[in-house]
Amino acid sequence: MRILVQEAPFDVGAEAKAFSEGLSASGAAVTFTGIVRDNAEGNLVEMLIEHYPGMTEKALTKIATEATERWDLEDVLVIHRYGSMKPSDMIMMVATASRHRVAAFEAAEFLMDFLKSRAPFWKQEITKDSASWVASKEEDEDALKRW
């Protein structure tokens, strides 16, 4: 298991390759990448992500550990950035590996659902003339119930 919380950009291709090459018993590796999306008005200048140093790492480790307890995973990778990003920048990625694809897909979805509302990150959208905190969505909380 590898958990990285960092300000710097990451190379999703290199990370996915290294993750796959480190496997020996898996037939499936799933990767998901989260990207900064422009806002509804199409004028997003910057996305600022604040986090809670210390708790962030603990929360991500707890979520990833729970995934390894629920599915037969050979490995899990979580990378999540904080700080300043631009539209189309990569915010985060998860990778999961298992003998079969269903477990790898399900575990990746589980990680994403819990990352959204149980890891202490807060997004702020900056436009030319405003800065607004992104509100959590009820559907994100509802998404946890299926697990």
Partner 1 sequence: MKVVYFAWVRERIGLPKEEVETSAATVADLVAELRTKEERYEVAFSDLSALRVALDQELSDFEASLEGVKEVAFFPPMTGG
Is residue 102 involved in binding partner 1 (CB under 8 A)? no
In the region spanning residues 59 to 88, those forming contacts with partner 1, defined by CB under 8 A, are 59, 80
Per CB under 8 A, the list member of 1, 18, 25, 55 interacting with partner 1 is 55
Other C-beta atoms lying within 10 Å of the C-beta of residue 97: 25
Of 76, 69, 78, nearest in space to 33 by CA: 78
Per CB under 8 A, the list member of 17, 18, 37, 54 interacting with partner 1 is 54
- Measured between alpha carbons, how far apart are the two ends of the chain, in Å? 21
Question: Rounded to the nearest whole angstrom, what is the least distance from the CB of residue 51 to partner 1 in the complex?
Answer: 8
Q: Rounded to the nearest 5°, which phi and psi values hold at 144?
A: -70, -25
Q: Would you give the binding string for partner 1 spanning residues 8-47, x where CB under 8 A is met?
A: --------------------------x-------------
Question: In this structure, are residues 134 and 127 in contact, taking their beta carbons and an 8 Å threshold?
Answer: no
